[in-house]
Amino acid sequence: MQLYWSPQTRSTRALWMLEETGIPYERELIEIQDPERNNPAGFLEASPMGKVPALVDGDVKMSESAAICL
């Protein structure tokens, strides 16, 4: 499972939720302030608008912090 996140954004909600569950996951940092950033593979497939947070869990790809936490 991968969480695409950036500090001091709504992605903290998903980060907090995953830490509380104890489920293993990988964090992928998205530099949202960098206009020339290279998005890591899979990010835009999970979040076509390029927003964080986004989560990939196997075949499931989703964005929206509330939906991810649910």
Ligand X SMILES: N[C@@H](CCC(=O)N[C@@H](CS)C(=O)NCC(=O)O)C(=O)O
Regarding 12 and contact with ligand X (CB under 6 A), the answer is no
Is there a contact between 49 and 69 (Cβ–Cβ < 8 Å)?
A: no
Of 17, 25, 29, 32, the one binding ligand X by CB under 6 A: 32
Minimum distance of ligand X from residue 63's CB (angstroms): 6
**10: contact with ligand X by CB under 6 A:** yes
11 close to 5: Cβ distance less than 8 angstroms: yes
Q: Which two tokens stand for residue 69?
A: 């936490």
Q: Look up residue 24 and give its two tokens.
A: 């293993």
Interaction site with ligand X (CB under 6 A):
9-10, 32, 50-53, 64-65
